[in-house]
Amino acid sequence: MEKLKTTGHAPVNGINMYYEIYGEGDLPLVLIHGGGSTIQSSFGVLLPMLCERGKVIGVELQAHGRTTDRDAPETFEQDADDVAALIRFLNVPKANVLGFSNGGSTAMQLAIRHSEIVNKIVVIAGAYQREGFIPALFEGMPHATLSDMPKALQDAFLAVTPDQNRLQTMFEKDVDRMIHFKDWPEQKLRSINAPALFICSDQDVVTPAHTLKMSQLVPAGRLIVLPGVHGAYIGAAEAPRDAMLPSITAGFIENFLAG
């Protein structure tokens, strides 16, 4: 892996947001992890591959990993505003943005709400409507407990923030966000002027049909559907290990960003 250059906490919108910077370059790629995750648990496998193309900035969102919480629910809009504030804090005029799962939805909100600082976006297993998720995701959500959270994600959180109470709070806020998730108007996606690559798998928590729909709504949208389950194609900690797919995914991402 490219040597880690910098870590820090940025004071943004009432929280201290943790970030890591790798590599060099004028147009960085900002990575936004999935729900319940950290930089490493979402991108530990993919990050070394992406670093080969230039500067990469990993972030951790409200209540996740090493980032502090605020007395307010998590929302995709607020997460987008926090990431935008971090980008400006780092004096980055424009960036590419890649988000996985909930981070993919945040990447879209970033392109909607802060288009002036977004060059291209990569949305991996993100969604903008409830119908885009498999039904099982919502069916069990009202009864979910911390024991339902993948152990790999619990361990990743506690490895960087060894506080069981903070883990519990993050879990509850993640669940609450999805229980109360409301559809976004299609016009929001039509307003995205950044080129956008939408990626999912054929057995994902977001359906290929929904991912296709998003790629068609965004004027400069592209689509890739890969084999496998949620997160396996990027090497996410909660997914089964796949020896080849993450490198294939990284190649698609690099070609899109370079084009």
Radius of gyration of the chain (CA): 17
- Count Cβ atoms below 10 Å from residue 114 Cβ, excluding itself: 17
pLDDT for residue 2: 53
- How far is residue 56's CA from residue 51's CA, in Å, rounded to a whole number? 6
CA distance linking residue 255 with residue 259, whole number of Å: 6
Average pLDDT of span 75-91: 98
State the amino acid at position 19 in one-letter form. Y
Q: What pLDDT does residue 153 have? A: 98
| Beta-bridge mates of residue 79 | none
Q: Cα separation of 43 and 62, whole Å?
A: 18
Strand blocks (E) in the chain: 4-12, 15-22, 29-32, 56-59, 95-100, 118-124, 196-203, 221-229
Of the candidates 57, 48, 110, which has an alpha carbon nearest to the alpha carbon of residue 247? 48
Q: Rounded mean pLDDT of 219-248?
A: 97
Residue 239's closest CA among 34, 10, 1?
Answer: 34
Taking 80 as the threshold, does the pLDDT of residue 133 lie above it? yes
What is 6-43+50-258's CATH superfamily? Alpha/Beta hydrolase fold, catalytic domain (3.40.50.1820)
pLDDT over 60 (residue 73):
yes
Question: Position 21: which residue type?
Answer: I
User: Mean pLDDT score of the chain, rounded to an integer?
Assistant: 96
At residue 248, the pLDDT reads 97
Return the pLDDT at 140: 85
Note the pTM of the prediction, 2 decimals.
0.97
